[in-house]
Amino acid sequence: MLSRFCRCAIFLMLSISLMACQVSPDAIQLNNKNQQLTQQLSASQAEVARLTQRARMLQGDVTELGRVVNVLGTEKTSRVEESSVLRGQVRQFVLQQIDLLKDFLVDGNLLDYVGGELVSRAQQEPAPLTLVDFAHPMPSAGTLTGVGAYFSAPTELQVKVLRPVNDRYVLIWQSQPLSVEAAGQARLSFPVSVGVEQGDVMAYQFAQITAVSFDSGTGRTLYSTQKLGLGDQVRESNLSGGRDRRAYSIGVYGLLN
């Protein structure tokens, strides 16, 4: 019995030894893998720490750049405000000089005039008309500063510039309504001067009555009862008065080349 027991014990120990020998390589491999993962984790943690530190440094740089941008923005705003004030002062000075120059030219009768002679004429058209003066196109390019006329009564009018395009005339500019306070010869300045080209034709649109007299047979002013607006196109054949050959006492002043 004892001998059999010893043999069983010896067999059992040998089996355990054999099992230990079989498991040991796998355990070693797992241990090695675990060590590799531990090293990789340590390296990753070190990289995360480095990147975190780098992010803090970059955040500091961003904060500093934001501060610099705010300072530059404040300085730029200050310079823009100073520049705007200076430009406004220069513009005001230039406009004052222009007004003085215009007054000097008007008072000295030094401006160019394009239009009919400013005299009292025999005939009167009471209806409000739009007059288009084909007898006096612009002889050259220049700048118009106002209108003059021999008015028969107080009225209101607009001055318009028509530019020839092929067989038509296109309305490219019109003044603000100008008020005439009394009858007689008068000059009215435009709030803003207008540039014209050679060949442009002037039109005069009356709102109430056509308070400018005319003679027949000596001019080439056509007329219409229709009002003209910016961009409108006009043909001579669509206007009235071709046979009358009217000459009106109205024209424009300016500086022509």
Q: For residue range 28-80, list pLDDT tens digits in order.
A: 788 888 888 888 888 888 888 888 888 888 888 888 888 888 888 777 777 77
What is the average pLDDT score of the chain?
85
Cα–Cα dist 169/235, whole Å: 6
Q: What is the pLDDT of residues 99-119, one digit of tens each?
A: 666 666 666 567 899 999 999
pLDDT at 139 (0 to 100): 96
Q: What's the pLDDT at 252?
A: 97
What region, left, alpha or beta, does residue 50 occupy, with left being phi > 0 and alpha being psi -120 to 50 degrees? Answer: alpha
The domain locations on the chain are 1-110, 112-256
What pLDDT is recorded for position 94? Answer: 67
Q: What is the pTM of this model?
A: 0.62
pLDDT at 232: 95
CATH architecture of 112-256: Sandwich (2.60)
The average pLDDT across 205-229 equals 93
CA 145 to CA 192: how far, in whole Å? 7
Q: pLDDT tens-digit profile of 6-16?
A: 666 666 666 65
* Contact present, 164 and 199 (Cβ < 8 Å): yes
Q: What is the pLDDT of residue 77?
A: 76
Per-residue pLDDT, averaged over 203-225, amounts to 94
pLDDT at 144 over 60: yes
pLDDT of 130: 96
pLDDT at 170 over 90: yes
Give the 3-state DSSP-derived string for the chain, with helices as H, strands as E and coil as C.
CHHHHHHHHHHHHHHHHHHHHHHHHHHHHHHHHHHHHHHHHHHHHHHHHHHHHHHHHHHHHHHHHHHHHHHHHHHHHHHHHHHHHHHHHHHHHHHHHHHHHHHHHHHCCCCEEEECCCCCCCEEECCCCEEEECCCCCCCCEEEEEEEEEECCCEEEEEEEEEEECCEEEEEEECCCEEECCCEEEEEEEEEEEEECCCCEEEEEECCCEEEEEECCCCCEEEECCCCCCCCEECHHHCECCCCCEEECEEEEEEEC
Token readout for 137 is 């196109």
Q: Which of 80-94, 107-121, 141-155 has the highest mean pLDDT?
A: 141-155
Name the token pair of 202: 């002037």
- The pLDDT confidence band at residue 238, using thresholds 50, 70 and 90, is very high
| Beta bridge partners of residue 118, listed in sequence order | none
C-alpha span between 192 and 188 (Å, rounded): 12
pLDDT beyond 80 at 131: yes
The pLDDT value given to residue 236: 93
φ and ψ at residue 92, rounded to 5 degrees: -65, -40
Closest CA to 112 of 81, 144, 85: 144
pLDDT of residue 203: 97
Banded pLDDT at 179 (limits 50, 70, 90): very high
